[in-house]
Amino acid sequence: MLSSAIYPLANPKGVKLECEMCQKTAYIMCSQCRVTYYCDLAHQEADWNGIHEKICQLLIPIRTAPSFLSSAKEREHSEEQMVQRQKHLIDLTRTVAQKLLFEGKHEEAIPGALQSLRFATAVYGSASAELVPSQLLLAEASIGLGQLEEAEEYLSQAQWTVMRTTECVTAIQYKLYRNLGLLYSAKCDNQKALWYFADDIYHATEVYSAFDIHTAGGYFHMANVFYRLEKMDIADSLYTEVTNIWNAYLGELVETEIQKTLWKAGISSPDPGSSVPDLEDVFDEAQEAEAIQVLHAIFDLRNQEYLLKRGKIGRIAHTLAMLYYLFLDFKKATEYGKLALEDSQLFPHSEKEIATIVRLVEMAEKALSYPGGKGPSPSAWANSC
């Protein structure tokens, strides 16, 4: 719910309050944090929907004047706390903005991207490579809105930073090339788009591997270009590669979640010295949104028979089933799992893959049988196994 606005009667003498969105003179103050200002209600609403609702209270200690600290040690500790708060906000605002971009909400992504750029500038300075991820988010949002000149400006800033700093690493460069590919794809310059997506894949492979979800994004966008060029064989092979990468990645996460449940229930014991990470530590909101966008796009293309369907719809359905199992949406996990099983009965699949799908469907159906459809508690698992 949008916080109510307060109209300041007058700004303090010599102080100009600036709008959070456009830096014009502000006349409205957020009534909840009382440290954020806007030129009008439209900009307040846009900021609230995009990011402010999530960071409203977090801004208070950052934008409130600190109390007097007498010792140098106290001042140093206060400054360290401020930097840590700002770094947390950089991560949070970037994740939210990226998630909105994957969901196709380009306009809503802009406030978070702008905030991440401001905090990154405050922490690292205006010439740091740490600004590049935020500039790329703003570029991607502009591409999605059809504002290609603005996108080019953000990408030019990012390119210049990458070229003149020694701190830029390949992990940043692959994202830059991906956005350049998206820009030229929006311009319908398919050859340049393919060239940049190839650079994206090359640099992502250097940081991660050729069979990693970070690299899969480059394959996916390159497949989209070949699909548009009606080179279906190439597009099909690339979409298959993307599906296989996500299938393997989600398969490991599903197995981890199942083992963790069994260990908590006392049904099995972990290997000595092993540790099971929480799902949130390996799969953030932006990755969730990316998985939904990419996998559903491939599923829809195959299901509508724009691409080869026979023998391949099962793999993408299985991948979606695992995704929704991890999201605790057991109804969708069951639906996609059964679709994968139907395909496995018509076309050759390995016995191991079929057994994995059967187990997943059984687990999802069992979870649906419990109140609320959210699965059993560890004690219920112990009683039923």
Q: How confident is the model at residue 265 (pLDDT cuts 50, 70, 90)?
A: low
> Are residues 240 and 344 part of one domain?
yes
Residue 23 domain flag: yes
How far separated are the first and last CA of the chain, in Å rounded? 44
In this prediction, residue 69 carries a pLDDT of 65
Mean pLDDT, the chain, as a whole number?
Answer: 87
Residue of 342, 337, 367 lying closest to 247 (CA atoms): 337
Q: What is the pLDDT of residues 192-210, one digit of tens each?
A: 999 999 999 999 999 999 9
* Domain presence at residue 30: yes
How far apart CA 319 and CA 141 sit, in angstroms, is: 28
Higher pLDDT, 51 or 278: 51
Asked whether the beta carbons of 360 and 337 are under 8 A apart, the reply is yes
Q: Do 360 and 257 form a contact (C-beta atoms < 8 A)?
A: no
- Mean pLDDT in residue range 153-178: 85
**Mean pLDDT lowest for which of 62-71, 236-245, 336-345?**
62-71
Do 293 and 179 reside in the same domain of the chain? Answer: no
The residue out of 126, 157, 187 marking a domain boundary is 187
pLDDT at 162: 85
Instruction: Examine the domain organization and report whether 85 and 50 are in the same domain.
Output: no
Q: What was the pLDDT predicted at 374?
A: 60
pLDDT > 80? residue 267: no
Select from 239, 345, 257 the least CA-distant residue to 296: 239
Same-domain check for residues 15 and 119? no
241 plus 143 within the same structural domain: no
Is 28 found in the same domain as 131? Answer: no
Q: How confident is the model at residue 119 (pLDDT cuts 50, 70, 90)?
A: very high
Q: Does the pLDDT of residue 215 top 50, yes or no?
A: yes
Say what the pLDDT of residue 199 is.
96
pLDDT in tens, 317-370: 999 999 999 999 999 999 999 999 988 877 666 788 888 999 999 989 988 887
The residue range of the domain holding 111 is: 77-187
pLDDT beyond 60 at 272: no
What is the pLDDT, as a whole number, of residue 23?
92
* Triad 348, 322, 253: Cα angle to 5°: 115
**Is it the case that residue 41 has pLDDT exceeding 60?**
yes
The confidence score (pLDDT) of residue 350 equals 74
pLDDT given at position 32: 93
User: Which two structure tokens, joined as six digits, stand for 130?
Assistant: 């740490």
Mean pLDDT to the nearest integer, 116-143: 95
Q: In whole angstroms, what is the distance from residue 116 CA to residue 141 CA?
A: 14
Q: Centre a 10 Å sphere on the Cβ of residue 323 and count the other Cβ atoms it contains.
A: 25
Judgement on whether residues 250 and 345 belong to the same structural domain of the protein: yes
Same domain, 17 and 157: no
Task: Choose the final residue of a domain: 150, 165, 187.
Answer: 187
Residue 69 lies in a domain: no
Mean pLDDT in residue range 27-56: 95
For residues 293 and 99, what is the distance between their CA atoms, to the nearest angstrom? 10
What percent of the chain clears pLDDT 70, i.e. is strictly above it? Answer: 83
Evaluate if residue 21 carries a pLDDT over 90: yes
Number of domains in the chain: 3
Q: In this structure, is residue 97 part of a structural domain? A: yes
pLDDT band at 167 (very low <50, low <70, confident <90, very high): low
pLDDT of residue 48: 97
| Sheet of 5-6, strand order | 5-6, 28-30, 37-38
pLDDT at site 385: 44
Residue 117: inside a domain: yes
Strand 28-30 with 5-6, pairing: antiparallel
- Judge whether 364 and 330 are in contact, CB under 8 Å: yes
- As a whole number of Å, the CA-based R_g of the chain is 24
Same domain, 115 and 153: yes
Band of pLDDT at residue 381, cut at 50, 70 and 90: very low
CA dist 110 and 93 (Å) reads: 10
**Domain presence at residue 150:** yes
Residue 257: pLDDT band (50, 70, 90) is confident
Domain CATH number, residue 104? 1.25.40.10
As given in the structure block, the two tokens for residue 167 are 């701190």
More confident residue, 222 or 77: 222
**Comparing 114 with 162, which gets the higher pLDDT?**
114
d(CA 192, CA 190): 6
Give the mean model confidence (pLDDT) for residues 304-311: 72
Q: Are 85 and 59 in a shared domain?
A: no
Label each residue of the chain as H, E or C: CCCCEECCCCCCCCCCCECCCCCCECCEEECCCCCCEECCHHHHHHHHHHHHHHHCHHHHHHHCCCCCCCCHHHHHHHHHHHHHHHHHHHHHHHHHHHHHHHCCCHHHHHHHHHHHHHHHHHHHCCCCHHHHHHHHHHHHHHHHCCCHHHHHHHHHHHHHHHHHCCCCCHHHHHHHHHHHHHHHHHCCCHHHHHHHHHHHHHHHHHHCCCCCHHHHHHHHHHHHHHHHCCCHHHHHHHHHHHHHHHHHHHHHHHHHHHHHHHHHCCCCCCCCCCCCCCHHHHCCHHHHHHHHHHHHHHHHHHHCCCCCCCCCHHHHHHHHHHHHHHCCCHHHHHHHHHHHHHHHHHCCCCHHHHHHHHHHHHHHHHHHCCHHHCCCCHHHHHHHC
Residue 355 resides in a domain:
yes
Residue 306 lies inside a defined structural domain of this protein: yes
242/381 same-domain check: yes
Average pLDDT over residues 376-380: 47
